[in-house]
């Protein structure tokens, strides 16, 4: 986070100079007084200016956006990060060229990065119980639609053939989509089997 030490004739003057140099409002800054101003001998000799440290407050949206941008740059990519938030989630949506590198095969790289972001987030903001969701150019919505269509298609096959079908390993989030899509289906039931990260959804006839 941005931070600097700066002096001034008064504490307020030093703070104002620091805020201007960092481009911050006072509400977005943390101020630490390192030394008070002091008048020298006869008001002339040995005087000391006020010294303060002005730092940007660590806000979840700013911190995570910068952290993710750093990862993207180290991957040799360029991308913009849009942050939206609600009471349950902090959504980071990335857009830019060559975004398939971040997504990976069936979203494996995307899910791994999302896991890393959640670890970093809860380490730095332990009192915040929200979950970080990472998306790239609306990939997750498109993937959800694909999984729902897959679930319905397999369910019809299971209902007609009377034999269960085991799907490929999926992340907990993707397995949840399959379970939710078929929870009201009168002909089939779903359950998960196996250990992470190879846990799979089974669609079976009722």
Work out the end-to-end distance of the chain between its first and last CA atoms, rounded to an integer number of angstroms.
56
Burial of 178 (0-12, 13-18, 19+ CB in 10 A): buried
Region 78-97 average pLDDT? 92
Query: CATH assignment of 60-137, given 3.30.300.20, 3.40.50.300, 1.10.4160.10, 3.30.43.10?
Result: 3.30.300.20
Residue 196: what are its φ and ψ, rounded to 5°? -60, 145
Q: Is the pLDDT of residue 200 over 70?
A: yes
Top-confidence range, 35-39, 96-100, 130-134, 168-172: 130-134
Determine the pLDDT at residue 101: 92
Residues of the chain with CATH 3.30.300.20: 60-137
Q: Is the pLDDT of residue 16 over 80?
A: yes
Region 81-102 average pLDDT? 91
Cis before 197 (ω within 30): yes
Determine the pLDDT at residue 46: 54
0.75 exceeded by the pTM? no
Determine the pLDDT at residue 90: 94
Average pLDDT value for the chain: 90
**DSSP character for 169?**
P
Task: Classify 136 as helix, strand or coil.
Answer: strand
pLDDT in tens, 21-72: 988 888 888 899 998 888 755 555 556 889 999 998 888 988 899 999 999 9
CA atoms within 13 A on the CB side of 183: 7
Fold observed for domain 141-205: Ribosomal Protein S8; Chain: A, domain 1 (3.30.1370)
Q: Is the pLDDT of residue 10 over 70?
A: yes
Residues of the chain with CATH 3.30.1370.50: 141-205
Q: Is the pLDDT of residue 5 over 70?
A: yes
pLDDT in tens, 182-195: 999 999 999 999 99
Alpha carbon 51 to its chain centroid, in Å, reads 36
Sort strands 131-136 and 89-95 into parallel, antiparallel or unpaired. parallel
pLDDT in tens, 117-153: 999 999 999 989 999 999 999 999 999 999 999 999 9
Region 169-175 average pLDDT? 89
Determine the pLDDT at residue 87: 85
């Amino acid at each position: 986070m941005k931070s600097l030490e700066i002096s001034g004739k008064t504490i307020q003057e030093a703070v104002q100079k620091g805020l201007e140099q960092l481009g911050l409002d006072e509400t977005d800054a943390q101020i630490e007084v390192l030394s008070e101003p002091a008048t020298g001998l006869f008001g002339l000799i040995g005087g000391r200016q006020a010294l303060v440290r002005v730092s940007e407050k660590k806000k979840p949206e700013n911190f995570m956006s910068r952290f993710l941008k750093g990862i993207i740059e180290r991957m040799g990519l360029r991308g913009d990060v849009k942050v939206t938030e609600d009471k349950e989630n902090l959504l980071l949506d990335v857009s830019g060229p060559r975004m398939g590198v971040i997504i990976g095969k069936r979203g494996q790289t995307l899910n791994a990065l999302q896991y890393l972001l959640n670890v970093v987030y809860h380490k730095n903001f332990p009192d915040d119980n929200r979950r970080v969701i990472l998306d790239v150019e609306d990939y997750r919505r498109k993937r959800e639609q694909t999984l729902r269509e897959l679930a319905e298609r397999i369910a019809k096959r299971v209902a007609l053939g009377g034999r269960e079908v085991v799907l490929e390993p999926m992340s907990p989030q993707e397995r949840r989509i399959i379970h939710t899509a078929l929870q009201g289906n009168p002909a089939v039931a779903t359950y998960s089997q196996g250990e992470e990260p190879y846990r799979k959804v089974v669609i079976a006839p009722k």
